[in-house]
Amino acid sequence: MKGVVDRFSEEFVETRMKALDKFLKRVADHPVLSFNPHLNTFLTVKDLNKRQGLALLSKVGESVKHAAGGYKLRARPAEFAAMGEYLDVFNQKLGTIDRIAQRILKEQSGTRAILLREAVSPAG
């Protein structure tokens, strides 16, 4: 890790650190992103698996974790939680409607094929 950072000037690294800090604050304060479970995990993870060749990622992760230590994730307001539950139920209902529509379309297609066959075949 040290060799990677050494090739950049201290001023550049400091500027990038400040920019990253500013970005993380904006993300943590975002009304939607601040409730994302992946962001929550990213900012609060305690340990990365170093045995799977993630030593560099672990060091970077620790740096980000220390930099993000001052960010507090807020609790989701009740209205957003209620809307999320409503959207989940709505999504399930739309899925059911889609499956029913597909079934009807398939039945109509089969009926149409039968009618076309009967219309084309000579009367016996």
The answer to whether 48 touches 61, Cβ cutoff 8 Å, is yes
Q: Which two tokens stand for residue 30?
A: 């975002």
Q: Which two tokens stand for residue 53?
A: 């060749």
d(CA 73, CA 43): 9
Give the whole-number percent of the chain exceeding pLDDT 70.
Answer: 70
How high is the pLDDT of residue 50? 45
d(CA 104, CA 8): 64
How high is the pLDDT of residue 87? 94
Task: Tell me the per-residue pLDDT of 26-81, one tens digit each, with 9 for 90 and over.
Answer: 888 888 888 888 888 877 777 655 444 455 556 566 666 665 555 555 677 888 88
- Tokens 């170093």 sit at which residue? 50
Q: Where are the domains of the chain?
A: 2-70, 76-124
Any residues with CB less than 8 A from the CB of 21 and at least 6 apart, and which?
67
How high is the pLDDT of residue 99? 94
Mean pLDDT of the chain: 79
